[in-house]
Chains A and B, each alone.
Chain A
């Protein structure tokens, strides 16, 4: 079947191997155990690589095409491995890869230069997620078939090492882009090692011991990262032992939101920083927006697309009527982000800032303490009536980009969103209902465990409390399921007002909210986070910081004695109440959404009561299985299991009728003696054996008791007890 089939015949294989080969030959397949294991290793590599690609694809809802492509590649590889020469196969794969890339480049909206492509690749390799590139799904779909085909083709041809190299190359790429997590990477690496190790054994004669040795090495590979993780500062556990605890402690809300990165994952418990960041002079109190995220991944948000310098792109005006708001930001501590009121149309004093695809501003370097910049913003002017009549005829670009949810998003999210927005007649009303529902049904808390699985789903159905990113994520995802374009925006709230037009913005003012798109108006802010508990938490933190004398929490203008509440609004639109209805059990029955907030009214909530514990993800299960097999092989190899069994067997004696008892005692004696000298040969009587090995008095007496019990007229309890006593003496002398 394969070129090396001849090389694998004959030789003294292990017992397991023979059984396995016989089993397979019965169904007409020429397959040795080592070959199966090596191919199994390659499957692990494939799974690891494909999981990453699948994740990318899943975020954009094209899983069927993806699976079809993978299956087709595997089938093609399996078929062609029988007759196609390696060079031909590799050429075909190369052409397929080139065609895929060409297809991808052709589909891109802009016409990228080769240099820009290389630059973006370099950026990817330095930790930028593939999700951030344009048309990531198309990219994943176009690069998938060729490597899958080559890997499986080479594996079937018996070129395990080369096949592993192909998989490892792709996996390494994903590791560098940060898309492959530690468990997945480990799975791929262990799979590759298994493919190379077992593949090597497959090519030569081997003993069962060699098989077991490879299994042990694989287990060690799984264990090592666990052990090494104990060292502080290392990457972290591949298993979810730490869970959310990893993110407790020094993570601040601000750091999690505003790391000037183009993606953020939702965190567990976080803290508030009371340090002053900016002093803003503005003609109007606004939320100071930093940037938005357009792509939801299930556990966080990503901003796709490249930032470009302001000088190249400019800052266009929004479509509808606007009013001008001018702001001056005095930087109070060094920063890499430039907050501004939506929507910035002119900026000065910060060189040539980068403008993201979501019109967020970022300095080209960092802004140092004491520097300042000016922004002119065109704030969309729209009354609730305007918004209600804005309709829903969005540009296609907006629909594609801002209504995406991963295919893995549970259906109940959409169902709940629909039930909340059901009587809504327009987009504005729908957004307001979702906002109100979240404000009244979830409690504000900074101490939460980061949930497993889809964050929006978890927050809506399982969690009782959370903070702004959870609220914003849940709202944006719910709206998206109803085909309302929405994005999550991060930045700072207005801050502490210290003068008519001056505001002090502290670290804890960092915030996440939602922006909803209205045709002919643009993006409007909706803040689903209940304001008052958030402000209470902030004030408490500020008081604490002042009490402990933390530096940098006050400016000349702020007055510790004067407790000025930070003005925040529930929504951007005028006429909305600024106070937030109390949440939780005090909710009055007049709330029109109360019926949907009752968990009992929705049967899909019930699956939370399943008595079975959740299984860890499959990649971790696979690693655990490898660990288990390796441990078993290791114990067998070291003989520990046998020794432990014998140790207990020698000592544990159940009470049975004397003959059985003596017979068992006698067998143990034989075991002890055989370890000291040699086993009794077949055809050798016990007497002859004892004489030959020059056994001691006790052994002979025990043998005599047994002889009488077995061949004579039987024995009593005392003799059985005597036999046990004799065995104990022999054993202690032989120190077994």
Chain B
């Protein structure tokens, strides 16, 4: 490649990143028209979206988990579906079923709610493991298998799942393997007084979410995802991510998996795009590390997983 071509390629990458950055900014502005506060969490959801990841929202009921997910989904012109997970929910309720069509005298496949660009899985920990595994396959493979037939899911495909931390006795804890497939796990937390007051002002009368319109196309999202994948991850940054993961492995019973490290770097790439930068810096990694790594760490003692991650961030040297 000649210098001119390199420069041209560089310029194209720069403009692609600028465009992706603009799309993200638009979406965030749109969502913040509905959601009060939670700016960081909105950014996290957007980076997950760019980094081809799925998000698990965990918190007490009523803090706006579903609202947040819906707002993000509705900002695109793609399809959005919502599944309320219950103890009696069957896998076919998620993926779809083959129904016998008497007119054509054949079985035809009726798509389940998983066939959408953005799938909101509400309270997934209330469904039995078999149903959860249907979601699991869809998240990992971007495909669904029904009666031995495999169906491709639409692109892009993102799952935003919520999980209640109350009513633990009536829930099926997500297996570690499944939790690992979520790029990040977020906690929303209660809004502060000012934010809650403002939120109340907004929802009295017509709920603003009904007026929310799409500000980006699926094509925009696909382009943004492609640009994100092109963001440079230099050797020192890769080393840093590896060392962070290693550090958690040394500290905890179950540390961050290689899948976690990949997720961390993908999230960091998206974070760089948010800043309009074509390369990842350690600050990007640090900004994503807590939400990407914490839910992948399990300690044998009372020590919280977050402490392990904080410790790793504080001790691993950055070169």
Contacts and interface: CB of A to CB of B under 8 A. Distances in A.
A681 B313 CA distance: 11
Interface centre among A682, A687, A708, A711 (most CB of B within 10 A): A711
Given A711-B234, A713-B278, A687 B283 contact: yes
Given A711-B232, A711-B279, A713-B10, A685 B286 contact: yes
A683 B279 contact: no
A711 B317 contact: no
Contacts of A682: 314-318
Contacts, number: 45
B82 to A, nearest CB: 39
B281 interface: yes
B308 interface: no
A686 B318 contact: yes
Nearest to B6: A713
Contacts of A708: 279
A710 interface: yes
Interface in A663-695: 681-688
Interface string A33-70: 00000000000000000000000000000000000000
B236 interface: yes
A707 interface: yes
Nearest to A710: B236
A713 to B, nearest CB: 6
A712 interface: yes
B318 A685 contact: yes
Contacts of B237: 711
Given A685-B283, A687-B283, A688-B283, A712 B278 contact: yes
A685 B232 CA distance: 18
Interface residues of A, number: 14
Contacts of B317: 682-683
Contact of B232 (A681, A684, A712): A712
Interface in A705-722: 707-708, 710-713
Contacts of B277: 712
Contacts of B281: 685, 687, 707, 711
Contacts of B278: 712-713
A684 B314 CA distance: 7
B280 interface: yes
A684 B318 contact: yes
B247 to A, nearest CB: 10
Contacts of B283: 685, 687-688
Interface string A695-710: 0000000000001101
B282 interface: yes
Contact of A713 (B232, B316, B318): B232
Nearest to A707: B281
B236 A683 contact: no
Contacts of B279: 708, 711-713
Interface string B280-307: 1111001000000000000000000000
In the A-B complex, the 4 residue pairs with the closest CB atoms: A712-B279, A683-B314, A711-B234, A685-B282
Interface of B: 10, 232, 234, 236-237, 277-283, 286, 313-318
Interface of A: 681-688, 707-708, 710-713
13 contacts: A681-B314, A682-B314, A682-B316, A683-B313, A683-B314, A711-B232, A711-B234, A711-B237, A712-B234, A712-B277, A712-B279, A713-B10, A713-B232
